[in-house]
Amino acid sequence: MWAHYADHHRGLCIGFDFSQFAIPIEIHPINYSDDRPELDTDSSFLGLQQVDNARRVVYTKSSHWQYECEFRAFFGNLGKSRPAFLFLPPRAIHRVILGLRTESHVEQSVRRLLSMPTLDHVALFQAQADSRRFGIQLVLVPRPY
């Protein structure tokens, strides 16, 4: 996942506590399939709610990616004409993980943000290469940031 979504470990990951959001958020494992699901715009005539049809599309991914064991969160404004924005309360941020190759200016920005009183509950981790196995270890970065 780091290679695909965090710029080959140059990025970072943010861990969320979904119970802190003002709206319910559904979290489901991805369904991996060789067949691409279609968004059926006529689903309402077939008795299938359009929201359920959209969920099927959102939670399906090619079998090629099955090794990721991905979960996705779903929230949104299906059926509404205006885009929705999700307010991210500071308490919803649980942890930040810096990648193996996170650049120093990014790390310093993260440390500066996490030093704010509203984010003093957030744990900061640094990904490091495991010296004995093919994998990474997450090392807790002690405060103060």
* Tens of pLDDT, residues 42-98: 655 565 566 677 778 889 999 999 988 898 887 655 455 555 667 789 999 999 999
Decide if 82 is inside a domain: no
- Indicate whether 42 belongs to any domain: yes
Residues 64 and 46 in one domain: yes
Instruction: Please give the pLDDT value at position 46.
Output: 60
Residues 98 and 127 in one domain: yes
Q: Which of 71, 10, 79 is nearest to 44 (CA)?
A: 79
Cα-only R_g, the chain:
19
Residue 42 is part of which domain span?
26-74
Query: Is 79 contained in some domain?
Result: no
Cα 49 to the center of its chain, rounded Å: 26
| 136 plus 92 within the same structural domain | yes
